[in-house]
Amino acid sequence: MIDLRGITQIYPGPQGPVEALRGIDLHITPGEVFGIIGRSGAGKSSLVRVINLLNRPTRGEVFVAGRDLTLLNDADLRAARRDIGMVFQHFNLLSSRTVFDNAALPLELAGMDKAAIRGRVNPLLELVGLSALADRYPAQISGGQKQRVGIARALASRPKVLLSDEATSALDPETTRSILALLRQVNKELGLTVVLITHQMQVIKQVADRVAVIDAGRIVEQGPVIDVFTRPQQPITKSLIDEIVPQELPASVLDHVRHLSGQLQGGVGQLLRLSYSGERAYQPILSRLIREHGLDLSILHGQIDEIQDQTFGSLAVYASGDGARLQNAIAQLRGEGVVVEEVTTEG
């Protein structure tokens, strides 16, 4: 649905040119919710504004629904943009227009007649849960309701793609959840492709199918959300995930391990961090380590969570016993797709 090829964006600046995007290749498939996450200044807004050519990239090609937007003339570009709706962090509503008239704005601009506009906008207000507030003005509704108006307006021209640039950043956690659920709903019910820009892993965790991590104008990591959560590769990704899945074990756990290893009588002891996702559960993993490999286990720390019905988690255990059997057990777990980290306690 969206294909970005070799996108570079260079802004002129007082201290010389700023390279905000440095060769981005990205492929977003129809009907998915694709998250793009990065720290402030990473290039997220620059990237999302390239997708509808609000920013013309310095170099590269922007394919949306099969056409390279950078090659279109003004009239064709305006038409192509109707396929791409956008919602913003600060809603960008017109204060002098009612909820209904804000949602209707793109259709008025396109010259649609009043009856057709009503036929289009009323169901949309219904969809976003604002039918009862159609005659209110933006000053008379809450932030979450304003964003619902923004979403209705973005959907008015029946786009194929919805771009969201920090649409929930100005909202409290509960309102954020309800707006994200609404985006998920329009994705499912209307088959819309959604591109979601955020700096919060919580947002990615709740709605995205796949995620790309952007850092200093480059995509440094991407994949299905569950994979990125359970096997983050880059330091930036680990630090972004840390708010949901702490990447380091607490000091008390390491203290406990030092205590346990001090009590070892023969054999070896090793702190293991096991991470998994999907159908596996810990109980059989642990009982096998004990029964088949004859290891002693102390469970020290753990966390289990869910991403869109898929369970994932990590568990810290201290395993002790025969050294060769311990290595066999680790190899077997790895062979089965469990991520096994041998954690050292020095320092």
Ligand X SMILES: Nc1ncnc2c1ncn2[C@@H]1O[C@H](COP(=O)(O)OP(=O)(O)OP(=O)(O)O)[C@@H](O)[C@H]1O
Residues that bind Mg ion (CB under 5 A): 44-45
199: contact with ligand X by CB under 6 A: yes
Task: Pick the piece of the chain touching ligand X (CB under 6 A) from 34-42, 64-72, 79-87, 282-290.
Answer: 34-42
134 binding partner (options ligand X, Mg ion, none; Cβ < 5 to 8 Å by kind) = none
43: contact with ligand X by CB under 6 A: yes
Total chain residues near ligand X (CB under 6 A):
13
Pick one of 10, 18, 244, 290: the residue that binds ligand X (CB under 6 A): 18
Separation between Cα atoms, residue 97 and residue 74, nearest integer Å? 28
Q: Provide the residue type at 345 as one letter.
A: T
206: contact with ligand X by CB under 6 A: no
The answer to whether the beta carbons of residues 61 and 5 sit under 8 Å apart is yes
92: contact with ligand X by CB under 6 A: no
41 binding partner (options ligand X, Mg ion, none; Cβ < 5 to 8 Å by kind) = ligand X
51: contact with ligand X by CB under 6 A: no
Q: Give whichever of 46 and 168 is closer to ligand X, judged by the CB atom.
A: 46
18 binding partner (options ligand X, Mg ion, none; Cβ < 5 to 8 Å by kind) = ligand X
DSSP-derived secondary structure letter, 219:
E
16: contact with ligand X by CB under 6 A: no
Work out the angle at residue 206's Cα, subtended by the Cα atoms of residues 201 and 210, and round it to the nearest 5 degrees: 75
The answer to whether the beta carbons of residues 195 and 163 sit under 8 Å apart is yes
In the complex, minimum distance from the CB of residue 15 to ligand X, in angstroms, rounded to a whole number: 10
Site string for ligand X, 287-316 (x = CB under 6 A): ------------------------------
146: contact with ligand X by CB under 6 A: no
In the complex, minimum distance from the CB of residue 229 to ligand X, in angstroms, rounded to a whole number: 21
Please provide residue 309's backbone torsions phi and psi, each rounded to the nearest 5 degrees: 70, 0
Residues comprising the chain, all counted: 347
Separation between Cα atoms, residue 100 and residue 126, nearest integer Å? 11
In the complex, minimum distance from the CB of residue 27 to ligand X, in angstroms, rounded to a whole number: 20
Task: Pick the piece of the chain touching ligand X (CB under 6 A) from 43-51, 110-118, 187-195, 244-252.
Answer: 43-51
Separation between Cα atoms, residue 89 and residue 130, nearest integer Å? 19
90: contact with ligand X by CB under 6 A: no
Pick one of 30, 41, 235, 250: the residue that binds ligand X (CB under 6 A): 41
13: contact with ligand X by CB under 6 A: yes
Please provide residue 217's backbone torsions phi and psi, each rounded to the nearest 5 degrees: 80, 10
| CB hemisphere CA count around 98 (13 angstroms) | 11
In the complex, minimum distance from the CB of residue 41 to Mg ion, in angstroms, rounded to a whole number: 8
Q: Give whichever of 49 and 120 is closer to ligand X, judged by the CB atom.
A: 49
What tokens were used for 108? 């008025």
The answer to whether the beta carbons of residues 272 and 319 sit under 8 Å apart is yes
* Helices of type H across the chain: 44-51, 74-81, 99-109, 114-127, 143-155, 173-190, 201-207, 225-230, 235-241, 251-262, 282-291, 323-335
Dihedral Cα 76, 152, 108, 141, nearest 10 deg: -140
Q: Give whichever of 166 and 209 is closer to Mg ion, judged by the CB atom.
A: 166
- Binding residues for ligand X, rule: CB under 6 A, are 11, 13, 18, 20, 38, 40-46, 199
